[in-house]
């Protein structure tokens, strides 16, 4: 009994190195998309603040800058993840992946930035660096920052941020390099 060579999978185009290289977005698309996504997230935060409290907060611009920087940093990671996980797929699959990766990366990066700023503020009352007390304070301060962002900060993305998310996912699916030529059958 002779063994036939195993056929390559349809989406295995030369191994992981090639796949990683193809998934890397161009500098132009990463920079332009990051800027646009950052502005969209800042506008989302501003709209949420105007809807909920008529913009009456002393932190209006700081929250806008937080959401802007989270969006700017998250965009290239989300774009890379979409292109890496769904090459040669239909537009519907790219749309779903874009929804997941854009939302998760934007929320994660923004929450991470908030945790760093939160930790930097409370560090003045913490113990000496790298002691057990400091480690406990570091862990719990970071955890409480992430919790506060989850409870309070996620509201900054609703309702306008969700609309921007749908629009961005639609545009990514429409302009995905390899999904345009595939049939949806």
Supply 147's token pair: 């919790």
> Above pLDDT 90, what percent of the chain?
75
Residue 184 is predicted with a pLDDT of 47
Q: Digits of tens for pLDDT over the chain (185 positions)?
A: 565 555 555 555 568 888 788 888 889 989 999 999 999 999 999 999 999 999 899 999 999 999 999 999 999 999 999 999 998 889 999 999 999 999 999 999 999 999 999 999 999 999 999 999 999 999 999 999 999 999 999 999 999 999 999 999 999 999 876 544 444 44
pLDDT of residue 16: 81
C-beta separation of 142 from 115 below 8 A: yes
Rg (CA), the chain: 21
* Residue carrying structure tokens 């545009």: 171
Cis peptide before 183 (omega within 30 of 0): no
State the pLDDT at residue 183: 44
Burial of 21 (0-12, 13-18, 19+ CB in 10 A): exposed
- pTM of the entire predicted model: 0.84
Nearest-CA neighbor of 49 among 168, 159, 165?
159
The pLDDT of residue 8: 53
pLDDT on residue 182: 46
- Say what the pLDDT of residue 49 is: 96
Rounded-to-integer distance, Cα 8 and Cα 2, Å: 18
Q: Is the dihedral of CA 171, 173, 155, 106 positive or negative?
A: negative
Q: Taking the domains of the chain in order of start, what are their residue ranges?
A: 28-174
Residues 6+ apart with CB under 8 A from 24: 80, 83
pLDDT of residue 25: 86
């Amino acid at each position: 009994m002779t063994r036939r060579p195993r056929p390559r999978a349809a989406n295995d185009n030369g191994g992981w190195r090639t796949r990683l290289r193809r998934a890397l977005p161009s500098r132009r698309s990463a920079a332009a998309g990051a800027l646009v996504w950052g502005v969209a997230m800042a506008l989302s935060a501003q709209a949420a603040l105007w809807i909920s409290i008529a913009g009456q907060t002393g932190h209006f611009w700081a929250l806008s800058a937080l959401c802007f920087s989270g969006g700017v940093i998250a965009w290239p990671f989300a774009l890379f993840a979409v292109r890496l996980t769904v090459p040669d797929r239909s537009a519907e699959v790219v749309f779903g992946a874009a929804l997941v990766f854009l939302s998760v990366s934007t929320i994660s990066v923004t929450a991470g930035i908030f945790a760093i700023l939160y930790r930097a503020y409370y560090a003045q009352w913490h113990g000496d660096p790298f002691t057990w007390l400091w480690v406990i304070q570091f862990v719990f301060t970071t955890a409480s920052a992430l919790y506060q962002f989850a409870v309070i900060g996620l509201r900054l993305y609703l309702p306008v941020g969700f609309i921007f998310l749908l629009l961005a996912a639609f545009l990514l699916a429409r302009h995905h390099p390899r999904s345009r030529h595939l049939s949806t059958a």
